[in-house]
C-alpha cells in the first residue's frame, strides 16, 4: 500500500470495497446505537478476526446515501496512521434486514443495508475513566495525551479538522494504543481559513469560544481547545466546562478564562454574537487558580491550550514539544499498561440504567426511596512509576460480555440518573447533562442541515440534541507500521520517540 507524501492525503483507492456481503461476518452482539445507525461486535467467519460493524441508517434518507457518511469514508480512506481508527472495508446486505431470529426488520424492506467495518477497540477513554475504582497514573495520562496529539497533528498537516474531539471518540485497545475515531463531522480545510464553515460542530462541553461566538472561519485551533478540555478532565477527574446550553457554555468559559476584549483577542468584538452573549461584567482569567493542584508543566500546557484567541492557541506539534512530555515522570510505554475488561461510555450508561431500575423496584417494594450514591471518578495517582491495578485487569482481550450489550459506541449520555462525577463540581442540578447532545466514537450523528452561521444565536437556548454515539463514529483509518514509528534522538529516554519535534527529531515516519 502506498503511503501519503509529506503534507498530502493518500489517494489510493480500494476497488474491492463493497464487493463482500455482511454475511461474511457473524454478529456477536450489538454494542451501540444512535441516530447514525447501529454498531455490532462481529467476527469474520474465515479469519475469526473481531471487528466492529457500523450499520449506516438509510430509512430516513430521501436523497440517497447520507452525505455525512460519504465525507467520513472519503476522509478516512485517505488517512493512514497508527493513532487514527482503521476503516477496513465496506460491506453490504442485498435484501431486507433480519434480526437474530430471522424475522424481517421493518423500515428498510427493499433497499438492503450498508455497513462500515472497523477494527475493534476494547475501550473508549470516557468509559475507561469511568470504571469504578479506576485511577490513571501521570505517566499513563501523558501516554494517552501524547498519542492523541500525535494523531491529531497528522490530521492537521493533512488539512483535516476532526471537529468532535471528546473522550468517547478516543478509542483504546488492550495494548494501550489510542486512536482518534468518529470522523463524521470531520472535513478538509484550506490553509488560508477563508472558507465559510459551519459553527454547529463539536460537542458542547468541548466547543471553543470562537464557534460559540458565531465564527465561520476557523482552523485546527478548534480541535486544540477540545484537547485542552480532555487534558484538564483527565487530571481533574471530571469535566471542567459542563455547560447546559450554548450561552451557559460561553459563560463558564468566560468565568474560567476571563472575558475577551480587543487587547486579549483582536477582532473578538466583531464576532457575530459577541454583543448578545458577552457577560455583564469583566471577568478575570483564573485557570492557574482553578487548577493549582496541577504540576507546573501541566498547568503551562493547559494555559496554552485554553487560550481564548485561536491564533495564539498552541498547535498539536508545539504541544508535543512542550516540557510536560519531557520531564519526569515520562510517558509510559503503552504496552506496559494493564489490560482491562472492555469498557465504553455506552456500557457504563447501560449499567447505571439497570442499577436505577433495580433501585426503583426495591424502593417500591419497601415503599421508601432508595438510590445508589453516585459513582465518583477518582483523580490520577500522582506518584511516578506507581502501577494502576483498578477495575480487575484481565489478560483476555475480548472477555465474554453480559447480554444486552454494554459497549459505548451508541447513544449519548442522557440527563438525570446517578452522577458519574465527584460531588462539589458545578453540576447544574442532578447529574450532568448530555454532552451537547452527541455521543461517541464509532457513530457520527447528523447535525442540523443548515451550514454556515446557522440561525440567530442559539434559538431555543438548549444544546444540540439527537446526536451520534459510539466510538466508531466516522470511518476510521489505516494503521502505519507499529504504534510508534522510528524516532531520532529525543531528550532523554522519553517514550515514545516518534512524536514531537524536540531537538528536530525525525517525526512520524515518512509522512511529516
pLDDT per position as a tens digit, 233-270:
999 999 999 999 999 999 999 999 999 999 999 999 99
Q: Which domain holds residue 88?
A: 20-99+111-122
| Interatomic CA distance for residues 169 and 262, integer angstroms | 35
* Statement to judge: residues 143 and 278 lie in one domain: yes
The reported pLDDT for the residue numbered 106 is 55
The reported pLDDT for the residue numbered 199 is 95
Residue from 493, 435, 458 nearest 168 by CA: 435
The CATH number covering residue 296 comes to: 1.10.510.10
Share of the chain above pLDDT 70, in %: 62
Kindly state the cell numbers that stand for 418.
446517578
Which of the four pLDDT bands, split at 50, 70 and 90, describes residue 131?
Answer: confident
pLDDT > 70? residue 39 = yes
The reply to whether 146 sits in an annotated binding site is: no
Chain position carrying cell 460531588:
423
* Statement to judge: residues 321 and 305 lie in one domain: yes
Average pLDDT over residues 344-355: 65
The reported pLDDT for the residue numbered 35 is 61
Catalytic residues: 164
* Statement to judge: residues 236 and 272 lie in one domain: yes
The CATH number covering residue 80 comes to: 3.30.200.20
Residue 104 lies in a domain: no
* Statement to judge: residues 94 and 175 lie in one domain: no
- Please give the angle made by the CA atoms of 398, 444 and 80, to the nearest 5 degrees: 70
Residue 508 lies in a domain: no
pLDDT > 50? residue 1 = no
Question: Comparing 115-119, 243-247, 281-285, 484-488, which segment has the lowest mean pLDDT?
Answer: 484-488
Q: Which position has the higher pLDDT, 5 or 213?
A: 213
* Statement to judge: residues 50 and 148 lie in one domain: no
The pLDDT tens digits of the residues spanning 436-489 come to 444 556 654 444 444 444 444 444 444 333 344 456 654 333 333 333 333 333
The reported pLDDT for the residue numbered 392 is 47
- Mean model confidence pLDDT for the chain: 75
Last residue of a domain, one of 122, 157, 188: 122
The reported pLDDT for the residue numbered 410 is 35
Which of the four pLDDT bands, split at 50, 70 and 90, describes residue 102?
Answer: low
* Statement to judge: residues 89 and 179 lie in one domain: no
The reported pLDDT for the residue numbered 59 is 64
The reported pLDDT for the residue numbered 496 is 43
| Interatomic CA distance for residues 135 and 130, integer angstroms | 9
> In sequence order, which ranges of 331-382 are alpha helices (DSSP H)?
345-366
| Interatomic CA distance for residues 437 and 352, integer angstroms | 18
Phi, psi of 357 (to 5 degrees): -60, -40
Residue 9 lies in a domain: no
Residue 502 lies in a domain: no
Residue 511 lies in a domain: no
Number of domains in the chain: 2
* Statement to judge: residues 118 and 161 lie in one domain: no
| Interatomic CA distance for residues 233 and 239, integer angstroms | 5
Burial of 28 (C-beta count, 10 Å sphere; 0-12/13-18/19+): middle
Which of the four pLDDT bands, split at 50, 70 and 90, describes residue 345?
Answer: low
pLDDT > 50? residue 348 = yes
Residue 281 lies in a domain: yes
The reported pLDDT for the residue numbered 341 is 81
Average pLDDT over residues 387-409: 42
pLDDT > 90? residue 417 = no
Question: Do strands 87-93 and 20-21 pair parallel, antiparallel, or not at all (unpaired)?
Answer: parallel
The reported pLDDT for the residue numbered 367 is 62
- What is the dihedral angle through the alpha carbons of 53, 54, 55, 56, rounded to the nearest 10 degrees? -150
| Interatomic CA distance for residues 55 and 36, integer angstroms | 8
* Statement to judge: residues 94 and 213 lie in one domain: no
pLDDT > 70? residue 511 = no
The reported pLDDT for the residue numbered 3 is 52
The reported pLDDT for the residue numbered 380 is 82
Last residue of a domain, one of 88, 122, 156: 122
Residue from 407, 489, 481 nearest 440 by CA: 407
Burial of 427 (C-beta count, 10 Å sphere; 0-12/13-18/19+): middle
* Statement to judge: residues 117 and 138 lie in one domain: no
Query: CB count, 10 Å around CB of 139?
Result: 24
* Statement to judge: residues 377 and 461 lie in one domain: yes
| Interatomic CA distance for residues 171 and 176, integer angstroms | 10
The reported pLDDT for the residue numbered 177 is 96
Kindly state the cell numbers that stand for 279.
457577560
Average pLDDT over residues 111-124: 88
| Interatomic CA distance for residues 391 and 457, integer angstroms | 44
Average pLDDT over residues 333-358: 75
Question: Comparing 85-99, 153-167, 190-204, 257-271, which segment has the lowest mean pLDDT?
Answer: 85-99
The reported pLDDT for the residue numbered 500 is 47
Q: DSSP letters along 169-216, please?
A: GEEE-TTS-EEE---TT-EE--TT--S---S--S-GGG--HHHHTT--
Which of the four pLDDT bands, split at 50, 70 and 90, describes residue 366?
Answer: confident
The reported pLDDT for the residue numbered 284 is 94
Residue 246 lies in a domain: yes
The reported pLDDT for the residue numbered 339 is 86
Average pLDDT over residues 430-439: 45
Residue 499 lies in a domain: no
The reported pLDDT for the residue numbered 51 is 95
* Statement to judge: residues 397 and 411 lie in one domain: yes
pLDDT > 80? residue 78 = yes
Average pLDDT over residues 394-414: 40
* Statement to judge: residues 363 and 263 lie in one domain: yes
pLDDT > 80? residue 322 = yes
CB 311 within 8 A of CB 221: yes
Q: Which position has the higher pLDDT, 328 or 397?
A: 328
Amino acid at each position: 500500500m502506498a503511503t501519503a507524501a509529506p503534507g498530502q492525503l493518500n489517494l489510493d483507492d480500494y476497488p474491492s470495497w463493497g464487493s463482500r456481503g455482511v454475511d461474511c461476518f457473524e454478529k456477536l452482539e450489538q454494542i451501540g446505537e444512535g441516530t447514525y445507525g447501529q454498531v455490532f461486535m462481529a467476527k469474520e467467519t474465515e479469519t475469526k478476526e473481531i471487528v466492529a460493524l457500523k450499520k449506516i441508517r438509510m430509512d430516513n434518507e430521501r436523497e440517497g446515501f447520507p452525505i455525512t457518511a460519504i465525507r467520513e469514508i472519503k476522509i478516512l480512506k485517505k488517512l493512514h496512521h497508527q493513532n487514527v481508527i482503521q476503516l477496513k472495508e465496506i460491506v453490504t446486505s442485498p435484501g431486507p434486514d433480519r434480526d437474530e431470529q430471522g424475522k424481517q426488520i421493518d423500515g428498510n424492506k427493499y433497499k438492503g443495508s450498508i455497513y462500515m467495518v472497523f477494527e475493534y477497540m476494547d475501550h473508549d477513554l470516557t468509559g475507561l475513566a469511568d470504571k469504578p475504582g479506576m485511577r490513571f497514573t501521570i505517566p499513563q495520562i501523558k501516554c494517552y495525551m501524547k498519542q492523541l496529539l500525535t494523531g491529531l497533528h497528522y490530521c492537521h498537516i493533512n488539512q483535516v479538522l476532526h471537529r468532535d474531539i471528546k473522550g468517547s471518540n478516543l478509542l483504546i485497545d488492550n495494548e494501550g494504543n489510542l486512536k482518534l475515531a468518529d470522523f463524521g463531522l470531520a472535513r478538509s480545510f484550506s490553509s488560508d481559513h477563508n472558507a465559510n464553515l459551519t459553527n454547529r460542530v463539536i460537542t458542547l462541553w468541548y466547543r471553543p469560544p470562537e464557534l460559540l461566538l458565531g465564527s465561520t472561519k476557523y482552523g485546527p485551533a478548534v480541535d486544540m481547545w477540545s484537547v485542552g478540555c480532555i487534558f484538564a478532565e483527565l487530571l481533574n477527574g471530571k469535566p471542567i466546562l459542563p455547560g447546559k446550553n450554548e450561552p451557559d457554555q460561553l459563560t463558564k468559559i468566560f468565568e474560567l478564562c476571563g472575558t475577551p476584549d480587543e487587547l486579549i483577542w483582536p477582532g473578538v468584538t466583531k464576532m457575530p454574537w459577541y454583543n448578545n452573549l458577552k457577560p455583564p461584567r469583566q471577568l478575570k482569567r483564573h485557570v492557574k487558580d482553578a487548577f493549582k493542584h496541577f504540576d507546573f508543566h501541566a498547568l503551562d500546557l493547559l494555559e496554552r491550550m485554553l487560550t481564548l484567541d485561536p491564533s495564539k492557541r498552541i498547535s498539536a506539534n508545539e504541544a508535543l514539544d512542550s516540557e510536560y512530555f519531557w520531564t519526569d515522570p515520562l510517558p509510559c510505554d503503552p504496552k506496559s499498561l494493564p489490560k482491562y475488561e472492555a469498557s465504553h461510555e455506552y456500557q457504563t450508561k447501560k449499567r447505571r440504567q439497570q442499577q436505577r431500575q433495580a433501585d426503583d423496584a426495591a424502593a417500591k417494594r419497601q415503599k421508601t426511596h432508595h438510590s445508589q450514591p453516585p459513582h465518583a471518578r477518582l483523580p490520577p495517582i500522582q506518584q511516578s512509576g506507581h502501577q494502576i491495578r483498578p477495575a480487575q485487569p484481565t489478560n483476555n482481550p475480548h472477555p465474554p460480555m453480559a447480554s444486552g450489550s454494554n459497549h459505548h459506541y451508541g447513544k449519548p449520555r442522557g440527563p438525570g440518573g446517578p452522577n458519574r462525577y465527584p460531588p462539589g463540581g458545578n453540576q447544574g442540578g442532578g447529574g450532568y447533562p448530555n454532552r451537547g447532545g452527541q455521543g461517541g466514537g464509532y457513530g457520527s450523528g447528523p447535525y442540523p442541515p443548515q451550514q454556515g452561521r446557522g440561525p440567530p444565536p442559539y434559538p431555543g437556548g438548549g444544546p444540540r440534541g439527537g446526536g451520534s454515539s459510539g466510538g466508531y463514529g466516522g470511518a476510521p483509518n489505516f494503521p502505519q507500521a507499529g504504534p510508534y514509528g522510528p524516532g531520532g534522538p529525543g531528550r532523554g529516554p522519553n517514550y515514545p520517540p516518534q512524536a514531537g519535534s524536540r531537538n528536530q527529531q525525525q517525526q512520524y515516519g515518512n509522512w511529516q
